[in-house]
A = this chain, B = another copy of it.
Amino acid sequence: MRATTIHAPGDIRLEERPAPTITAPHQAVVKVLAGCICGSDLWPYRGENPIDAGATIGHECVGVIEEVGADVRSFRPGDFVIVPFVHCDNTCPHCAAGMTSACRHQGFTSSGQAEYSLVHQADGSLVKTDGMPDDSLIPSLLTLSDVMATGWHAAVAAGVTEGSTAVVVGDGAVGLCGVLAAVELGAERVVAMSRHEPRQKIAEQFGATHIVAERGEEGEQAVLDLTDGVGADAVLECVGNDPAIQTAFKVARPGSTVGFVGVPHGIELPVRRMFGKNIGLAGGMAPVRTYLPDLLDRVLSGRIDPGLVFDLTLPLDEVADGYRAMDERRAIKVLLRP
């Protein structure tokens, strides 16, 4: 099959690789209809994460079941499925508590930017639609594989409630989905911290009530001014680097929680501020499967359209261009069609 591989920073290739095969009875092989590039794929692309040269890359996809292992009960070839980037059995104690991303049989999608992908715990992980969805829904369904569920997790972890003021730090696709999640969870005011006009527009389409374009101290002051100096009731940290973390804790009101979902890179938590102001930190790798049924309902009913985060669609053959476009911030998020 054709699969995206990474060889070194900046070196993304589409190469021939053996298609995955079933090696355990609870697995399934999915023929990928759409995959995409994640902000977290840019860490190795930029040389900020170690690289296993020649390994496949890509952890988000939707597609059609190609083959299932002997123990798979709920799916059969031809089913359209959303593949959470983190696989789970959905029965272990962690899954039962809703923390499916910490499943005892945790697995990961490893060839989402390819023609086929292997799912380790098919019954526990996958969610299917009734029949083939309309092609126009593919982008939004694809976001449920990671980015929309991750933005949702940020909002849940931050404790967004009805009538609250939420601030979203980061205007990548996750941050934009965080805006949408905060709106859906009832926030009355949603402040998107974004200095890029195309992203500001999507944030507004998703329901952001305020845009703060300034960064650093200026941006923090702007948020404090918006909240009479009190700070936000909930802060979604959707980047993962230190400036974003510091801003998140600066704009969070005492007693609130920063929900973080950006894989942390070189961050130093302001522990004395956290203690003195009682500002908590919650979140982490999103339990995608936990949120999937609810999010799928919202997409299928037309209530949310998170697929708007895709502003560039490329054939899989042009995946390297897709990485460049995201790296250079010419694209928010790139959808790939095998």
Contact = CB atoms under 8 A, between A and B. Distances in A.
Indicate the size class of the contact surface on chain A. Answer: 20 to 34
A19 interface: no
Contact of A278 (B93, B276, B277, B285): B285
Nearest to A260: B275
A228 B96 CA distance: 14
A267 interface: yes
Nearest to A279: B284
B271 A275 contact: no
Contacts of A276: 102, 284-285
Interface string A237-278: 000000000000000011101001001100101011011111
A275 B275 CA distance: 19
Contact of A271 (B98, B101, B228, B267): B267
A102 to B, nearest CB: 3
Contacts of A228: 93
B230 A278 contact: no
A314 interface: no
Contacts of A254: 94, 97, 99, 101-102
A63 interface: no
Given A93-B253, A275-B283, 15 more contacts: A94-B253, A94-B255, A97-B255, A102-B255, A102-B278, A157-B280, A267-B271, A269-B271, A274-B284, A275-B284, A278-B282, A278-B284, A278-B287, A280-B281, A281-B281
Interface of A: 93-94, 97-99, 101-102, 157, 228, 230, 253-255, 257, 260, 263-264, 267, 269, 271-272, 274-285, 287
Ranked nearest first, the 7 interchain pairs of A and B with the lowest CB-CB distance are A280-B282, A102-B254, A99-B255, A278-B284, A275-B284, A99-B254, A93-B230
16 contacts: A97-B254, A97-B255, A99-B253, A99-B255, A101-B278, A157-B278, A257-B280, A264-B272, A264-B275, A275-B285, A276-B284, A278-B283, A278-B285, A280-B280, A280-B282, A280-B283
